[in-house]
Copies of this chain bind each other. A is one copy, B any other.
Amino acid sequence: MVTAVVRKGLLLKADPITAAFRDEVKGSLAACSRPPKLVGILATTAAPSKNYAEFTRKQCEEMGVDFVLKKVGAAASPNLGEGEGVEEAIIEANEDSSIHGIMVYFPIFGVQQDHYLQQVVSPLKDVEGLHFKFHYNLYHNIRFIEPKSLLASLPPASQPPTVTESEEPPAGTVKSIIPCTPLAIVKCLEFVGVYNKILPYGDRAYGKTITVINRSEVVGRPLAALLANDGARVISVDIDSIQEYTKRPRISPNDSSESATAQRYHPRHIVHPSNLTLQECLAISDVVVSAVPSPTYKVKTEWLKDGCICLNVAADKNFEKDVRDKASIYIPAVGKVTIFMLLRNLLRLQQYQEL
């Protein structure tokens, strides 16, 4: 009698992924003349925000970062409304030179008014990277910036394609700040080998097909752009449509016209509508990232490509219980990685404030 051996994919939690960043942040902090000060602004009574605020405090204390939780509105008093006073608290923190970084526990009012508040945070203190300026840089694959450009309202004039051969910023420039959650996801994918370090910087995800389910401005769209800027073929899925993000338009390899040659390598991604169904996308995807804020949404395990890598970003579980029957690696949560991205951004911004 032959017994089939059922091999399950690897369940990968955040701790091993964060280890290198923990060391990096510890080293940077040890080199600081004074520890940076982060203020967290809590304006609602929502349990996930309260928990995340506590988690930030714990991580900061453990690492030796000076963390202050500022409670306003309903978080401060039952007599105040949800979000009351949050804009004033942000402005006060912007103007307080003892504060190096500001994070705000969203959602507060809903996407539109929250987006307004994200612009009120000074780009010089925006550890979460939610300011328009950082999204613009990300979408345009502007990796290095002059520190003083953080004080200018206009996006930099459109630039001629620059090939980013180096990870290190050219003289006079610093790294742009990348939104924390998409960056944490990229770091998870680097950890599990989706990024190939043999390839040149800025092209290390070339050859990989990645489906990203969610196209919000906070997670899905910046993530799709980041991955495509790094060379991946990205399939971006939301309720209404499926799009492809890629640096390389599908041009016949036999087409030697000038425009075809010019388009074959782009420093920034381009977006096409796709005719694929979700099932067809999943069948060809090496990686599936899901960030759907719904307890009932599930990616069907039977649609996954055998041996793919799955990453859940939502607070709810977007993958079925048996996901590891198909996935070679399953990462159930990225929150712990995100907080280290935030601390790295804090350390960078502290430096930029001194330039």
Contacts and interface: CB of A to CB of B under 8 A. Distances in A.
Given A120-B136, A136-B120, A81 B151 contact: no
A225 to B, nearest CB: 11
A271 B155 CA distance: 33
B155 A154 contact: no
Interface string A181-217: 0000000000000000000000000000000000011
A206 B214 CA distance: 46
Contacts of A81: 243, 271-273
A306 interface: no
A106 to B, nearest CB: 13
A112 B115 contact: yes
A51 to B, nearest CB: 23
Range for the number of chain A residues in contact with chain B: 35 or more
A157 B95 contact: yes
Contacts of A111: 111-112
A48 to B, nearest CB: 18
Interface string A111-147: 1110110011011100000001101100100000000
A246 interface: no
Interface string A141-179: 000000000111111011000000000000000000000
A53 to B, nearest CB: 23
Contacts of A132: 116, 119, 132
B155 A135 contact: no
B216 A95 contact: no
Nearest to A217: B112
Interface in A215-241: 216-217, 221
A119 B87 CA distance: 19
A23 to B, nearest CB: 34
A316 interface: no
A272 B80 CA distance: 8
Interface in A19-34: none
A92 B157 CA distance: 9
A115 B113 contact: no
A8 to B, nearest CB: 37
B116 A155 contact: no
A113 B217 contact: yes
Nearest to A80: B273
Contacts of A10: none
A153 B133 contact: yes
A41 to B, nearest CB: 16
A92 B124 CA distance: 27
A198 to B, nearest CB: 33
A258 to B, nearest CB: 19
A91 interface: yes
A87 B233 CA distance: 21
Given A123-B153, A152-B152, 5 more contacts: A88-B158, A115-B115, A116-B135, A120-B136, A151-B153
25 contacts: A81-B272, A84-B271, A88-B158, A91-B158, A92-B158, A94-B155, A111-B112, A112-B115, A112-B216, A112-B217, A115-B217, A116-B132, A116-B135, A116-B217, A119-B132, A119-B136, A122-B154, A123-B154, A124-B154, A150-B153, A151-B152, A151-B153, A151-B154, A152-B153, A153-B153
Name the 6 nearest CB pairs between A and B, nearest first: A119-B132, A112-B217, A81-B273, A153-B153, A91-B158, A115-B115
